[in-house]
Copies of this chain bind each other. A is one copy, B any other.
Amino acid sequence: MKYFDLDLLKFLLFEVHGLDNLLKYPKYSEFDKDSILMFLDAAKDIADKEMYPYYQDCDKQPARYEDGGIKIHPQMDNIFRAITDSGFVGAHLAPEFGGMNMPHVIVGATGLIYCAANNHALAYLALTVGAANLITSFGTMAQVEEYVPHMLTSKWMGTMCLTEPEAGSSLGNMRTTATPVSDGSYNIKGQKIFISGGDHQFADNFVHMVLARIDGAPQGVKGISLFIVPKYRNTEDGSLEFNDVLTAGDYQKMGQKGYCTAHLMFGENDNCKGWLVGEENKGLKYMFQMMNQARLEVGLTAAAVSTAAYYHSLEYARERVQGQRLSQKGEKVTEQTQIVNHADVRRMLLMQRAVGIGSMALIIEAFKYYDLIGVTEGEEKENNFLMLDLLTPIAKAYPTEFGITSTSYGIQTLGGYGYTVDFLQEQFMRDIRITSIYEGTTTIQALDLLGRKVAAQNGKPLMLLMGILNESIAEAKRFDELIPFAEQLGKSIGTIQKTMEYLLPFAFQMQYEKFLKDATLFFEMMSHVIISWQWLKIGISAMKKEDAKYNDAFHKTNLLTMEYYFNYELPKILSLKEIITKDQNTTIPGDIDYLN
């Protein structure tokens, strides 16, 4: 069954987001459109053969803790090999680190294909790449040489170890300790929970990137350092020895059952060594590099799952007949119609399409800024950085939050069948549900967006964004059909500004609780504007019809989906503004906690 539209992905990359322009930078001289299209085709082939056919079975045979280790689905090894052999792992790294300077946006686009096929699998490799990134960015060349080559073959895999029983969203409270020893290493002691990909049978070693507190370090987030803590450490004779990293158990989950989640214990026998990465007490700053990337990848996963669910429910809706069209009421009609012809089913399908593909477009936009940071200088680079920073919480939280509703619509489209395990819809919904929690919940993303990103540098990022939106609006106005949508987006920018005018004084008066109490609603509001912008861009490309490969039906569906977003989703900002700008304190706790 169709789970991904590769042509649409190519359209988003090259028509909507003008990837050709990015490829002109000398850094990317090894790449051209054709080589990228081939790379994507090869990825789709792997996804078709190695990933999608095993998607349901990964759910039915969950990763499981037994005998001190975690066993994951046997197909995972084939997937890891196929993707690694394709050159995907670490492809974005510089050649001196074993990569080939592949644009992040292509890595992300490829990730969309893989996650749509089987969202349980890719993250093992993505974490490995993320860990390798951290080492190449902040480690010594010796550390790079010791670990990274093994990781790029995915023989050694990487993880990020942040969460502890008492420190989840509040990382400053972590307790894992690092005690310096004479050989330059540190003794690591502590527990880390919810460690994705933390242990399984298909890696020779695990390279855990662990946040810990060096003895005597300052309290809170300022006293956290980053360590490489392998499960097996290198010895002088070149062999590996156990580094006292125990797998204490796993978590059985609602979904993503093929993607294991471990509980790790470091130094239970006081024999766990870690090696500092970069400088002391800068660990959280370093880790945020990995985390920001991981946030985009979580958003990417959700976007991919939503679109896969959309294609499945579309196929059902085009085949399943049930009832008559309301426009035929009173006529003598004996044939039942396909349910795709019922307005409310169509509304649900368009919602799914708008959320899934709108999210994909935003993810690509964000990855593009990632790349632009690496090839630009001075103020331009700074602006690209601000844009990426501003878009990241939205690109993480929008696909995940609205993807939950979208996959739920996928179930609803199938009616009772959607609730059975005979169709994939219920698995899509169970799988996607975690994404609004991974790597910082939606609340955390929303606080980041309103509390840090939007208001940074006297509002410069927001001004920058508005400027870019206005460019798209101006371009859209060249096409008569798009003028009403362009104008609606313009107005919505005004709604954001008015909302900010209400909120900012609370920040200036240091009434942070009041300033931020509705951050999640502000995030929703911003999201609708940002996704509308993405759809307007898609609409512009649909009008331009630059590549004759895309037919009328393709463009019309995109224009219809854009219309859907502007008619059904964007107007939600009216209510959101009303809610946010009302002077009330309903959600601010009083002196006593009287919820019951």
Residues of A participating in the B interface, judged by any CB pair closer than 8 Å = 5, 163, 166, 168-170, 173, 194, 219, 251-255, 314, 318, 321-327, 329-330, 334, 336, 338, 340-347, 349-350, 353, 404-405, 408, 411-412, 415-416, 418-422, 426, 429-430, 433-434, 436-437, 441-443, 446-447, 510-513, 516-520, 552-554, 556-557, 560, 563-564, 567-568, 571-576, 578-579, 582, 584, 586-589, 592-596
Pair A557/B442 contact, Cβ less than 8 Å: no
Cα A126 to Cα B483 with chains together (Å): 56
Knowing that A5-B596, A169-B322, A325-B589 are A-B contacts, what are 11 other residue pairs whose CB atoms are under 8 Å apart, sorted by A's residue number?
Answer: A173-B322, A254-B419, A254-B420, A326-B513, A329-B510, A343-B589, A344-B446, A404-B408, A418-B437, A430-B430, A564-B586
Cα A346 to Cα B588 with chains together (Å): 8
Pair A433/B442 contact, Cβ less than 8 Å: no
Q: Which residue of B lies closest to A564 (CB)?
A: B586
Pair A594/B557 contact, Cβ less than 8 Å: yes
Minimal beta-carbon separation of A225 from chain B (angstroms): 20
| Complex interface: chain B residues within 8 A of A169 (CB) | 322-323, 415
Q: Could you say which of B346, B433, B520, B588 contacts A429, with CB atoms under 8 Å apart?
A: B433
Q: Could you say which of B5, B343, B404 contacts A513, with CB atoms under 8 Å apart?
A: B343
Q: Which residue of B lies closest to A341 (CB)?
A: B589
Classify the secondary structure of A's interface with B: helix
Q: Which residue of B lies closest to A351 (CB)?
A: B587
CB<8 Å pairs between A and B, sample of 17: A170-B324, A173-B323, A194-B416, A318-B595, A325-B513, A343-B513, A343-B518, A343-B587, A345-B443, A350-B586, A405-B405, A412-B436, A412-B437, A415-B437, A557-B596, A571-B575, A572-B572
Pair B567/A252 contact, Cβ less than 8 Å: no
Pair B412/A318 contact, Cβ less than 8 Å: no
| Complex interface: chain B residues within 8 A of A578 (CB) | 571, 574
Pair A336/B173 contact, Cβ less than 8 Å: yes
Cα A163 to Cα B31 with chains together (Å): 56
Pair B254/A430 contact, Cβ less than 8 Å: yes
| Complex interface: chain B residues within 8 A of A404 (CB) | 408
Given contacts A314-B595, A345-B443, A595-B340, contact A253 B420 (CB under 8 A): yes
Minimal beta-carbon separation of A161 from chain B (angstroms): 14
Given contacts A314-B595, A344-B517, contact A170 B336 (CB under 8 A): yes
Cα A573 to Cα B572 with chains together (Å): 10
Cα A173 to Cα B405 with chains together (Å): 31
